[in-house]
Amino acid sequence: MSDKGESYKVISDNRQARFLYQILETYEAGIELKGTEVKSIRVGKVNLRDGYGLIRGGEAWLLNVHISPYQNINEYFNHDPRRSRKLLLHRKEINKLTGKLEQQGLTLVPLKIYLKRGLVKVSIG
């Protein structure tokens, strides 16, 4: 398989969000993670059901997404399962989302988490 192909491996899919909400637009965002979070995601220990996103201080954040602690490591090095995680978007995309969230009263929900060329990405809508 070539590097230029758009192949990705879906880790977790939020099917309930597609049922409960009308998805107007989707964005692909990187997500700022710690090392143990990446290992847990690769194993598939992530739950998007209660997650949501918001814009705070000119930055996009993903809240209430549960990433289980990694089992094969000491508890001291593990992460908080429900901590706030920063979404990595371009400034233009953040400004566009801010306008829509303020004017139309919309909500950001995570739709799926997947691996794309070895990087963890989240699809938000």
At residue 77 the predicted structure's pLDDT band, cuts being 50, 70 and 90, is low
Q: Name 47's Cβ contacts closer than 8 Å, sequence gap at least 6.
A: 12, 65, 66, 67
Q: What is the pTM of this model?
A: 0.84
pLDDT bucket at 2, cuts 50 / 70 / 90: very low
User: Could you tell me which of 49, 64, 61, 63 has the C-alpha nearest to residue 98?
Assistant: 61
Contact 69, 36 (CB under 8 A): yes
Residue located via tokens 């139309």: 104
Query: CA-CA distance, 21 to 24, in Å (whole number)?
Result: 9
CATH class of segment(s) 10-124:
mainly beta
Residue 5 pLDDT: 59
Q: What is the pLDDT of residues 7-37, one digit of tens each?
A: 888 999 999 998 988 899 999 999 999 888 8
CA 111 to chain centroid, in Å, comes to 8
71 vs 115, residue with greater confidence = 115
Q: Residue 115 pLDDT > 90, yes or no?
A: yes
53 beta partners: 62, 108
Provide the CB-side half-sphere exposure for 19 (13 A, CA).
Answer: 5
